[in-house]
Chains A and B, each alone.
Chain A
């Protein structure tokens, strides 16, 4: 017997049973995408048992490396690995160029918008966006008015959540302009993938992701206070109990920067110092991974034990730079999001390169009426929640859930937006003994000091539950390596 039929059988077993159904598939597209052909061929050379074994090894390695996030129950802390799927998500160069330029455009608009609303507020005076939505927003920080951050940059690190609809169009789902996380997984996933599947990647022109740490250090040095030529940059973390602590460690290491907590910092004469074995040492730039509210108990939440008393005074005096700036939360608000196309047009006089998802703003009577009329068809989101909490997917919600939502909407319409249900694209994902379609999104990371740079690819999150559209790690999501293939 010749060996050929056997390998054909294996080939059939791996991708032949795969059916993306009504969704756009990142691997096959509508008719089979040419840029993924080589990967598909190589995948077909593997059998399911090998794939499963390697996936298991990869997962063990994640655990051993301690690439975990911590889940706290009543009496103990459990380390969990963010599930890693071994089938890469592949972006064509053409798609990537669209994403890269689109993200840069958005970040530029966000920074101009933030500068404006903390200075002349021309965008409000010109009626582009309702004033109340901005100045009435809990994340608008009046303390920031009239303050000039170095380089005019507010959003130094931006994570833009992008999805692809059933037509294959890329759309922005939300901007994360506060403390976007997940970039460490992009880089660790790549390392893991190169170790476990070097044969799959061999000789492929995959865009490199290892530059991120040095690019971040550079961007943060760019925004040092005036007159500081060789700034000390520190990463401020809430500490080991924070679920993203692994990422803080990772980034501090990649930058070669000290990883500090509030208790390591002290403010004297409006200057920030850290306590070292050689005494107090000045700090010029702080990449902070602590929310605005907890940064400085003197200015914000007085109960915060994580922050540094006096930090805001030092910041306002220009003696230290915070990245991201304080008060960026108003720009990535889910309600402000709806105005982003108009904001882009207003400041840049350009059409958005990446489209928004159509959004009904429930604070507006029209938007509320539309939402209430089509509650069972729309995805309704509270504007003040992160991590996918409180999202109701109309077509999949029970009558009771919809009734509860209807009541909440009527009580507090300003707290909600609604969007048509996007049929998120899918990507083949190893589930049990087969490759099945699972929904994915994409979060590219943009760094802005003097100029903006976007890490090629980004974090692909995948909803591992069959049919689920929620990709968040707190809700059963996993991640994939993301390849930009030239």
Chain B
């Protein structure tokens, strides 16, 4: 029996498996983080901020009234009718995994299946403000467990390349969003306790607190944090690191398929790298940063579209 190439549809399935799980993990991080910020301020406005981050405000108001903690958390965690909720992301990840079950390891499938089962049995009580940290930690742990299982069992073939592409494109996108949401709360006069707490919280939300501390023992300016989250090549959620992985996997695929087949894909990858390296400039201001993060998100989206056009048929 002959060995055959990967079906286009399965390439798409594994790509989206990677994206949806990364999305679920980051959404859990953002909700958890936002809950911590909300403790010190007036409440309502901060939950609106999450909706703005994903441009979900209009859809939210179709089914809910005020964007308070309870409604927004429900909208983003348990609401299966909301396509951007964690339960939707994990359900879609599972459907994609089901389609490629013969190409992923049994352990990956079992973990995802069990994760989905746990998630679909969460109740509104589990996501009350007093329980939300625990619920989000559980979701993160399940995503990370999946990732660990994949690391240890997923055959490093073409399928894996697409899984990695999906994961790192999504992770880069999500890091830009977390930074986008948190950056303006980092500013304050010296000794401003709230700003200091916010800096720690933002770093912790990307599991970067200790890494940042050892990297910059004395510095804590908002600019330093932004540079760290964007450019530190040793920080696993840094955009640069993610983009390096994306480049490496695209090169693997090119090698496999004999040279650069898709001019558009290579073009979009180059403009992403260009944007990342030159787009921010030397003096980081709030306005410039938000504009830069938007540009990065657009460039990532273009790479994603080009991957689809080149390989998903």
Point out residues on A near B: beta carbons under 8 Å. 63-66, 217, 220-221, 230-234, 240, 245, 249-250, 252-253, 255-261, 263-264, 274-278, 281, 284
Contact of A275 among B7, B256, B257 (CB under 8 A): B7
Docked-complex contact A275 and B4, CB < 8 angstroms: no
CA distance A261 to B7 in the complex (A): 10
CA distance A138 to B99 in the complex (A): 33
Docked-complex contact A281 and B5, CB < 8 angstroms: yes
Contact of B102 among A230, A240, A259, A284 (CB under 8 A): A259
Contact of B7 among A217, A240, A274, A284 (CB under 8 A): A274
Across-interface contacts of B101 in A (CB, < 8 A): 66, 249, 253
Contacts A249-B101, A253-B102 hold; do A278 and B5 have CB atoms under 8 A apart? yes
Contact of B52 with A by CB under 8 A: no
Contact of A276 among B2, B8, B98, B117 (CB under 8 A): B8
Docked-complex contact B1 and A264, CB < 8 angstroms: no
Contact of B219 with A by CB under 8 A: no
Docked-complex contact B257 and A277, CB < 8 angstroms: yes
CB of B42 to closest CB in A, whole Å = 40
| Majority secondary structure, A binding face | mixed
Contact of B244 with A by CB under 8 A: no
Docked-complex contact B1 and A276, CB < 8 angstroms: no
Docked-complex contact A65 and B110, CB < 8 angstroms: yes
Docked-complex contact A231 and B98, CB < 8 angstroms: no
Q: Which residue of A lies closest to B161 (CB)?
A: A277
Docked-complex contact A256 and B8, CB < 8 angstroms: no
Point out residues on B near A: beta carbons under 8 Å. 1-2, 4-11, 95, 98-99, 101-102, 106, 109-110, 113-114, 117, 158, 253, 256-257, 311, 313
| Majority secondary structure, B binding face | helix
Docked-complex contact B99 and A240, CB < 8 angstroms: yes
Across-interface contacts of A276 in B (CB, < 8 A): 4-8
CA distance A232 to B4 in the complex (A): 7
Identify the 5 closest CB pairs spanning chains A and B, nearest first: A276-B5, A253-B102, A252-B102, A249-B101, A278-B5
A to B contact number (C-beta, < 8 Å): 79
Instruction: Give 30 pairs: A residue, B residue, CB < 8 Å, sorted on A.
Output: A63-B113, A63-B117, A65-B106, A66-B113, A221-B1, A230-B1, A230-B2, A232-B1, A234-B4, A245-B98, A250-B102, A253-B101, A257-B1, A263-B9, A274-B4, A275-B8, A275-B9, A275-B313, A276-B6, A276-B7, A277-B5, A277-B6, A277-B7, A277-B8, A277-B11, A277-B257, A277-B311, A278-B256, A278-B257, A284-B2
CA distance A260 to B158 in the complex (A): 17
Docked-complex contact A264 and B110, CB < 8 angstroms: no
CB of A403 to closest CB in B, whole Å = 46
Across-interface contacts of A284 in B (CB, < 8 A): 2
CA distance A398 to B10 in the complex (A): 52
CA distance A256 to B256 in the complex (A): 19
Docked-complex contact A64 and B110, CB < 8 angstroms: yes
Contact of B9 among A232, A253, A261 (CB under 8 A): A261
- Starting from the known contacts A63-B113, A66-B110, A259-B102, 20 additional A-B residue pairs (CB-CB under 8 Å) come to A64-B110, A64-B113, A66-B109, A230-B1, A230-B2, A232-B1, A232-B4, A233-B2, A257-B4, A260-B7, A263-B9, A264-B8, A264-B9, A276-B4, A277-B6, A277-B11, A277-B253, A277-B257, A278-B6, A281-B5
CA distance A370 to B4 in the complex (A): 57
Across-interface contacts of B2 in A (CB, < 8 A): 230-233, 284
Docked-complex contact B1 and A258, CB < 8 angstroms: no
CB of B201 to closest CB in A, whole Å = 36
Docked-complex contact A264 and B7, CB < 8 angstroms: yes
Across-interface contacts of B8 in A (CB, < 8 A): 264, 275-277
CA distance A217 to B114 in the complex (A): 32
Q: Which residue of B lies closest to A253 (CB)?
A: B102
CB of B122 to closest CB in A, whole Å = 17
CB of A328 to closest CB in B, whole Å = 23
CA distance A259 to B4 in the complex (A): 11
Which of B7, B257, B313 has the most chain A CB atoms closer than 10 A to its own CB? Answer: B7
Q: Which residue of A lies closest to B109 (CB)?
A: A66
Which of A255, A256, A263, A277 has the most chain B CB atoms closer than 10 A to its own CB? Answer: A277
Q: Which residue of B lies closest to A257 (CB)?
A: B1
Q: Which residue of B lies closest to A261 (CB)?
A: B9
Across-interface contacts of B98 in A (CB, < 8 A): 66, 240, 245, 249
CA distance A260 to B313 in the complex (A): 14
Q: Which residue of B lies closest to A246 (CB)?
A: B101
Docked-complex contact A217 and B5, CB < 8 angstroms: no
Q: Which residue of B lies closest to A214 (CB)?
A: B1
CB of B174 to closest CB in A, whole Å = 26
Across-interface contacts of B311 in A (CB, < 8 A): 277
Q: Which residue of B lies closest to A284 (CB)?
A: B2
CB of A369 to closest CB in B, whole Å = 52
